[in-house]
C-alpha cells in the first residue's frame, strides 16, 4: 500500500496507536483482575457471615432444648418430693408396689435428664467458643476487606486517569491518520494474534515473530516508499 514518502513516519503513528491499544487492554485487564480479587474476598466474608448466623441459630436451639430439659427435671423432682410426703399414707402392698415403680421411674428420669442437660451444656460451651473465634475472624476479614476496597478505589482512580490520557492521545492520533490506513489497521488488529499490526524491526529481525528479515526486505523498508509486511507474520514492518 502506497502512503507516500513519509511511510515510516506514518508507521510510527500506527505503532504508537498500537502501543496505546495494548496498554488500554492491559490496564482494563488489571482493573478486572483486582475487581475479581475484591469480589472473592466479599464472597468469602458473606460465606463466613452465613456460617456464623447458622451457628447462632444452633446455639439458640441448644439453649431452648436445655431450658426444656431443666423444666422437665424440675417437674420430676417436684413429683418425687410430693410422693415422699405421701409415703406414710400407703395402705397395702399394691399401693407400695405402685409407689416404688413410680419412684424408680422418676429417679431414672431425673438421672437421664441430668445427663442430657450436662451434654447440652458441653455442646453450648463448645459452640460458644467456636462463635467467639468466628466473630474475631469476621472482624479481621472485615477490616481486611475495607483496606482492599479503598486500595481498589485508589487503583481505579489512578487507572481511569491513565485511560483518559491514553484515550485522548488515541483520538488525536486517529485524527491525523489517513482514513484508509486506519480502517486497514482496525481490520488487521482483529485478525492478527495479540492485536499486533505493526512490528518494530529489532536488529534485522521482526519484533513480532522473531524471524530474521531477508536483506531485500530491509532494503525495501529503508527505501521508505510503501508499507512492507513481514514475509512470515504479515505484520507491517516499522523501522525506528
Residues in contact with Zn ion by the rule CB under 5 A: 206, 208-209, 230, 232-233
Closest contact distance (angstroms) between CB of 211 and Zn ion is 5
- Minimum distance between the CB of residue 182 and Zn ion, rounded to whole angstroms? 22
Distance CA 220, CA 217 (A): 5
Residue-by-residue DSSP string for 192-224: SGGG--EEEEETTEETTT-PBPPHHHHHHHHHT
Q: Which residue's CB is nearer to Zn ion, number 10 or number 199? A: 199
Distance (Å) of CA 68 to CA 30, 44, 54, 103, 167: 58, 36, 21, 21, 70
73 vs 206 by CB, closer to Zn ion? 206
Would you state the cell numbers that stand for residue 240, as one nine-digit string? 525506528
**What separation in angstroms does the CA of 156 have from each of 41, 43, 111, 177, 225?**
17, 20, 66, 31, 44
Q: What is the closest distance, in whole angstroms, from the C-beta atom of residue 187 to Zn ion in the complex?
A: 18
Q: Is the Cβ of residue 11 or residue 208 nearer to Zn ion in the bound state?
A: 208
How many C-beta neighbours within 10 Å does residue 198 have?
Answer: 24
Rounded to the nearest whole angstrom, what is the least distance from the CB of residue 227 to Zn ion in the complex?
Answer: 13
Phi, psi of 92 (to 5 degrees): -140, 175
For residue 170, the minimal CB distance to Zn ion (Å) is 24
Looking at beta carbons only, is 72 or 220 nearer to Zn ion?
220
Q: Which is nearer to Zn ion, 152 or 205 (CB)?
A: 205
- Which residue is it, cell 513481514? 230
- Shortest Å, Cβ 199 to Zn ion: 5
Beta carbon nearer to Zn ion, 210 or 223: 210
Amino acid at each position: 500500500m502506497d502512503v507516500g514518502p513519509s511511510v515510516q513516519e506514518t508507521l510510527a503513528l500506527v505503532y504508537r496507536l498500537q502501543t496505546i491499544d495494548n496498554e488500554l487492554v492491559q490496564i482494563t485487564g488489571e482493573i478486572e483482575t483486582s475487581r475479581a480479587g475484591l469480589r472473592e474476598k466479599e464472597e468469602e466474608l458473606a460465606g463466613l457471615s452465613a456460617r456464623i448466623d447458622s451457628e447462632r441459630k444452633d446455639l439458640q436451639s441448644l439453649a431452648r432444648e436445655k431450658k426444656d430439659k431443666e423444666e422437665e427435671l424440675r417437674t420430676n423432682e417436684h413429683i418425687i418430693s410430693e410422693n415422699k410426703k405421701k409415703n406414710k399414707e400407703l395402705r397395702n402392698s399394691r399401693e407400695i408396689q405402685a409407689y416404688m415403680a413410680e419412684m424408680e421411674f422418676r429417679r431414672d428420669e431425673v438421672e437421664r435428664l441430668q445427663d442430657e442437660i450436662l451434654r447440652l451444656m458441653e455442646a453450648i460451651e463448645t459452640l460458644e467458643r467456636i462463635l467467639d473465634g468466628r466473630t474475631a475472624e469476621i472482624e479481621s476479614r472485615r477490616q481486611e476487606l475495607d483496606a482492599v476496597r479503598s486500595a481498589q478505589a485508589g487503583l481505579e482512580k489512578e487507572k481511569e486517569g491513565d485511560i483518559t490520557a491514553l484515550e485522548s492521545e488515541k483520538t488525536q492520533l486517529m485524527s491525523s491518520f489517513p482514513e484508509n490506513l486506519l480502517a486497514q489497521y482496525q481490520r488487521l488488529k482483529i485478525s492478527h494474534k495479540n492485536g499486533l499490526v505493526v512490528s518494530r524491526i529489532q536488529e534485522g529481525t521482526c519484533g513480532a515473530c522473531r524471524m530474521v528479515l531477508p536483506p531485500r526486505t530491509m532494503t525495501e523498508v529503508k527505501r521508505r516508499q510503501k508499507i512492507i509486511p513481514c514475509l512470515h507474520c504479515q505484520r507491517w514492518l516499522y523501522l525506528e
